Structure 1
Amino acid sequence: MTTHRVHFLAALAGLLLLGAGGTASAQSTITCESRNGQYQSCSANTSGGVTLSRQLSSQGCWQGDTWGYDRNRVWVTRGCRAEFRVGGTSSSGNNTGAKVAGALVLGAIVAAAIANKNDDRDDHYDNGYNDGWGNGREIRCESNDGRYTRCATVDRRQHVEIRRQLSNQQCIYGRNWGVDDRQLWVDDGCRAIFVAY
């Protein structure tokens, strides 16, 4: 999927969420910057999700590759510098339909962004599997009984992705798996074989 397609989906999500009446925004914007290509994490309330609102660097910012988030922080690496919209929303009135529509569109954006590794290479994801661009180091990481589990230390320069999903529970980056302080973690029943390269 191309960068233009991801940007189109992001714009569409913005329009849908702006048009979804009855939701009072409690979001804020933070700036997180990778200086000299170094990994950097920025404390943030990510309970309501994170979206990239404005890229500041000439180096590309791709979710799941050069930026991402976990329970309480946004991280950037390899020169990505950007402003991110973080935080949740507070409801007023009946806005269940708006929330569902927004969640579906944002889910599509997350999936598209993860698939978009860079602007000149298409991804080959299929239900959590990938065709791979090299062997890398395989790491088996399992959240048994829905428990939060840390599995392995990952070099900050390495990229981590799912090679084979083992659980019926879908593994979604930033929701039930990720890399926090160089530690690969899983939660909420995600079990998979990951690859770091």
Structure 2
Amino acid sequence: MSRLFVLAATLGGLYLAAPVLHAQNIVRCESSGGQYQSCPADTRGGVTLSRQLSSQGCWQNDTWGYDRNRIWVTHGCRAEFAVGSQSSGSSGNSNSNAVAAAAVVALLGAAVLASKHHDDDRNDDDGRYDGYSFRCESNDNRYVSCPLPGSRGDVDIRRQLSKSPCRYGQSWGRDRHSVWVDDGCRAEFVVY
């Protein structure tokens, strides 16, 4: 599939979905010192993680979640959350879901293409970072440190490769210039 086609499909999907989408509010909620924090929000229209601000992982129903009138975070998760309805909910408009689905498919196609581009640029021989993602693997349950260029960006797991769990602070973590893995954690990490 050509990049031009994916771009055209993405823009077309966004254009068609524009009348269906509503503006969302952004709520910032931060767990300082690993402590539980609750942030007031009208969550009736749903909540999604918009932007992670911490190097500690933010996983829904683990280190963050929400109920009817608040968002909560814990274990160092700091993030901005998109709060609000994403569809018009108008009755009698049976095409709303189809249009929204087409936009999502187009966006996913663009994301897959971008991901493939970055994967192709990565040096698979040594797994070191030279783009947005890199691999770091604890083979035979050994401690391994994988260098990062400087200290830029937050790090999170993009895709776990091992059967052994990768848990932040237990089997993987980050210091100033590297990511470390241990106890069989093997994963593809992303810097953003």
- On whether the aligned pair clears a TM of 0.5, the verdict is no
Query: Shorter-chain TM-score: which interval?
Result: 0.3 to 0.5
Name which one, 1 or 2, has greater alpha-carbon Rg. Answer: 2
- The TM-score normalised by the length of structure 2 is 0.42
> What is the TM-score normalised by the length of structure 1?
0.41
